[in-house]
């Protein structure tokens, strides 16, 4: 076991690396494509997916960015940890620690954040951003963005907590140098998201103003620290949500890039088996209009978004239905059983279903893949499907790929490796 003093020096070295290595997205890889993977804060629990898995699988070396999900935006309009135990308190034993050394009592910081610092020390060009909000923590975004004063209060609290690293219960600055920027996952400005979210018509303009306030603060901090801080945002697929909440011609003045939802076009909340992330609307689709990656990206481009700043979101999970007798577009009796939630399942589980009697169906013209055994239907992406999507990214001139979420991949990071190979 490493002594507390040696542990302190190692953490300090990780922080020093993250403060002194200034990598833009282009510098973070040998090419211009960003490859952004979401790491879920709660993945260390039931999913048993620690940050160390990104190192042992080789995924970290294939990524340019990790988005750490999620920070809360409170009713008071402040950034706050949604789980301090996971973020900076839980001690990791040697076997699940990035550097192979167990956490010890009294070290400056533990938890996922310390593991991310170790991951950055092992992969100096890797950028780590903290994501704010998400589906369940976007309730108070509208209030926080409503006035110049409330916007500044939110931004100041986020910078102080996550970038300056002033984490409750720890020494001042204990978490400094771990995060390289902010990712806004407000779902959604001006339109319905999770039940109970505050929504205003003014959200559309206030979102742009919030980005401007963040951009100013990050640039000022970056100049003081000689470090590049990035600002990104998660953007919706539905044209109606784009129009309700986003000034597409303005927001990219402040964003380094935007990640676009390329999945959940259909799911088990519907009563029909369908695709969740097809490149094009499949022939015979019963919905008109319908969602696809092409219609989503074209909607952003038509509204003035710069194509090189659009990063396509890709799923590491599938949507599933059971009681399906007619395959694609067939009526379903309900969601398929899933390990963590009905109707969804990770790629690492779905990839094994062909050995259990499922047939893999590929529609290369529409660009989607599904599994079907005569009763249960899963729409999902495998490495072959992702290579088709990376070709689309390149041919369309987009900025790269985003993946939700890294814990859905297998132990060999097969999906992440396929994306990295496709975006060389």
- What's phi and psi for 38, nearest 5 deg? -85, 130
Distance CA 120, CA 178 (A): 8
Report whether 237 contacts 296 (CB < 8 A). Answer: yes
For 40, the token pair is 């879920």
Cα dihedral across residues 183, 320, 82, 90: positive or negative: negative
Report whether 292 contacts 237 (CB < 8 A). Answer: no
User: CB under 8 Å to 229, separation ≥6 — which residues?
Assistant: 163, 180, 181, 182, 218, 219, 221, 222
CB atoms closer than 10 angstroms to residue 47? 16
CA atoms within 13 A on the CB side of 158: 34
Q: Is residue 118 among the annotated active site residues? A: no
**Which residue is associated with the tokens 């059971």?**
322
Distance CA 173, CA 165 (A): 5
- Among residues 256, 241, 230, the alpha carbon closest in space to that of 204 is found at 241
CB atoms closer than 10 angstroms to residue 207? 24
Report H helices in 105-252: 111-122, 141-144, 148-158, 203-225, 239-245, 248-251
For 328, the token pair is 């694609």
User: CB under 8 Å to 109, separation ≥6 — which residues?
Assistant: 11, 88, 117, 167, 170, 174, 175
Distance CA 386, CA 401 (A): 10
Q: How far is CA 144 from CA 12, 179, 404, 424, in A?
A: 34, 22, 26, 40
For 87, the token pair is 């973020």
Distance CA 145, CA 152 (A): 9
- Using CB atoms within 10 Å of the CB of residue 238, give its burial: 0 to 12 exposed, 13 to 18 middle, 19+ buried: middle
Annotated catalytic residue within 75, 95, 187, 225: 187
Residues with a known catalytic role: 187
């Amino acid at each position: 076991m490493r002594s507390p003093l040696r542990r302190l020096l190692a953490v300090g070295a990780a922080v020093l690396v993250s403060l002194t290595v200034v990598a833009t997205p282009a510098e973070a890889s040998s090419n211009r494509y960003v490859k952004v993977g979401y790491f879920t804060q709660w993945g260390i629990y039931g999913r048993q997916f620690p940050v160390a898995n990104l190192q042992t699988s080789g995924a970290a070396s294939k990524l340019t960015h990790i988005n750490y999900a999620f920070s809360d935006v409170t009713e008071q309009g402040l950034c706050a940890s949604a789980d301090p135990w996971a973020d900076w308190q839980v001690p990791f034993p040697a076997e699940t620690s990035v550097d192979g050394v167990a956490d010890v009592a009294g070290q400056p910081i533990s938890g996922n954040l310390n593991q991310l610092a170790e991951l950055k020390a092992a992969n100096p060009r890797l950028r780590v951003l903290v994501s704010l909000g998400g589906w369940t923590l976007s309730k108070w975004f509208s209030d926080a963005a409503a006035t110049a004063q409330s916007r500044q209060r939110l931004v100041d609290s986020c910078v102080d907590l996550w970038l300056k690293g002033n984490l409750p219960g720890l020494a001042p600055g204990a978490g400094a140098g771990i995060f390289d920027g902010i990712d806004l996952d407000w779902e959604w400005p001006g339109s319905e998201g999770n039940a109970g979210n505050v929504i205003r018509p003014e959200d559309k303009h206030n979102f742009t103003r919030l980005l401007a306030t963040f951009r100013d603060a990050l640039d000022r901090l970056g100049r003081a620290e000689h470090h590049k801080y990035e600002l990104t945002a998660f953007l919706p697929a539905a044209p109606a949500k784009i129009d309700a909440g986003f000034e597409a011609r303005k927001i990219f003045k402040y964003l380094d890039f935007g990640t676009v939802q390329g999945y959940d076009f259909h799911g088990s909340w519907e009563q029909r088996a369908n695709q969740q992330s097809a490149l094009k609307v499949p022939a015979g689709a019963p919905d008109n209009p319908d969602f696809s990656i092409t219609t989503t990206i074209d909607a952003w481009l038509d509204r003035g978004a710069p194509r090189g700043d659009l990063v396509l979101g890709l799923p590491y999970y599938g949507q599933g239905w059971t009681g399906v007798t007619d395959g694609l577009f067939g009526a379903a009796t309900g969601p398929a059983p899933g390990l963590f939630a009905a109707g969804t399942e990770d790629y690492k589980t779905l990839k094994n279903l062909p050995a259990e009697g499922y047939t893999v169906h590929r529609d290369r013209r529409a660009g989607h893949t599904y599994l079907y055994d005569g009763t249960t239907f899963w729409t999902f992406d495998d490495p072959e499907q992702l290579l088709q999507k990376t070709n689309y990214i390149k041919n369309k001139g987009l900025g790269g790929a985003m993946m939700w979420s890294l814990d859905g991949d297998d132990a060999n990071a097969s999906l992440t490796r396929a994306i990295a190979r496709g975006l060389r």
